[in-house]
Structure 1
Amino acid sequence: MKFKHQLKNDVLILSMQGDLIGEDSGLDIVAMINDQIQKGIKLCVIDISGLRYINSSGIGVLITILTKFRNKGGEVCLLSPSDNVQKLLIITKLNAIFNIADSEEEAFEILKNA
């Protein structure tokens, strides 16, 4: 899995591509998240439109990210899950825990009102 991140209006935008199966990249993502939170970033959009597959370890990575931001008074929004990933979020009932948006503009609106 590949990921990249950028800051836009004090919102961390994390983009993931490939399969989120919790290998070393999961640890790298969490380390990067910790760095951003220490810099005062409280809002995060996770663009998962490029994810083909998520396993239980990958779900754990997403929940870890959400927990870290919420523990600091922040919020996370998932952006554009594929049909397969959307089904997984519904089956696991994570769609009730995560904010989910179809566009970056919608994600920013959700986070602004969080």
Structure 2
Amino acid sequence: MPAISPLVGEPIKRVDAERLAGVLKALADPARLRLLSLIQSAPEGEASVSDLTAPLGLSQPTVSHHLRILTEAGLLERDKRGVWAYYSLVPSAIGAIADLLTPPRKRPTKRAR
């Protein structure tokens, strides 16, 4: 993820823009947004492909394809256990996207303790 937001008034480096665009492209699909939501709301904060096919109404290969794209974008982690793979959100990646897309004047200020 780029360290500088495209909204702070500083030019974003080409490589950072390409990386951010790839992540945003991965998020731009409604099925992928639903996958993130389903995984986050799962009881353990993780889900396997078989947990996700019925709620999405998609086939196993289609769900696996979407999970691969989200994993390659750095939004999900994959943990293989035996024959099953479980997916969970990468909270820091989701937070970084939110920070990059929030203009500095709109970000909540941190209070000193």
TM-score normalized by structure 2?
Answer: 0.28
Specify which structure has the higher proportion of strand: 1
The structure whose Rg is larger is 2
Specify which structure has the higher proportion of helix: 2
Q: Which has the higher contact order (CA 8 A, sep 6+)?
A: 2
TM-score normalized by structure 1?
Answer: 0.28
